[in-house]
Amino acid sequence: MMSKKSDAGDKQLYHERQVKELCALHALNNLMQKKDAFTKKDLDDICLRLSPDTFINPHRSMLGLGNYDVNVIMAALQEKGYETIWFDKRKKVNVLIPDKIMGFILNTPTDYKLGFVKLPIHRKHWIAIRWLNGKYMNLDSKLDAPCAIGDEASLLEYLGSELSNGDKELLLVVEKEVYDNSLWRRDSEGGEKKDAHTSNSSGSSPSNSSCAGSPGSNILKDKSLANGTVAITDFRAQDHVSS
């Protein structure tokens, strides 16, 4: 299995921006770095397969705006040959071996706005993170452009800071071999772990990462973009409810 860090040369970054409640779709396409790796119809079809006999599908918005749940994300990634693991927040993030992990999907609380008016609606937002062009990149669809997190140490610091908020969760995306052999983590002493996978639950360390916080924070965009380009697909329209 080739290390992802052995990839050479800058590649064009693909970044979908937010529309409606389609952050799960954007996170998947941003993670796969491919337009239409998945479509809204693909995710709607997965919803129907997961719950074929329900009048109101529990895996998406009843209004058809998106708001897909984690079951849809997991099923979609399985179609591409990837497995997913909820990271156990009781453990420190330094048990992770990022080089063995294809990508990360953060699940964070979000507020909804209609124009400048905050709505009394609270949902969760999906954010893709992966190694691209020599650094870990935050591909949040709410950002105007990808945000550089940095090297492995910066990634772990950033994830630790994010997960210190009890409302946030982390989904790991790995190849099947990595999943089957638990190659994505090490034990508490730094050695690789070879047994059971983890599940859900709080922990971690503060971060100075410039990607921490909301899109309104002081965000450092990828300064390496002078050496490459970003393909930004902006699905937003002014009359949509942003998420």
DSSP-assigned states of every residue in 210-234: TT-S-TTS---B-GGGGGS-EEEEE
- Assess contact for 130 and 76: CB atoms under 8 A: no
Measure the CA–CA gap between 154 and 160, rounded to whole angstroms.
10
Reply yes or no on whether the pLDDT at 98 is more than 90.
yes
pLDDT tens for residues 24-55? 889 999 999 988 888 888 888 887 887 666 65
The predicted pLDDT at position 54 comes to: 64
Sheet architecture: strand order including 103-114: 82-86, 169-175, 103-114, 117-132, 135-138, 147-150
The CATH number given to 15-222 is 3.90.70.40
| Domain spans, the chain | 15-222
Catalytic residues: 23, 125, 140
Per-residue confidence at 140, pLDDT binned at 50, 70, 90?
very high
More confident residue, 180 or 194: 180
**0.75 exceeded by the pTM?**
no
Measure the CA–CA gap between 119 and 66, rounded to whole angstroms.
17
The alpha-helical segments, DSSP class H, found in 8-132 are 23-32, 40-50, 70-79
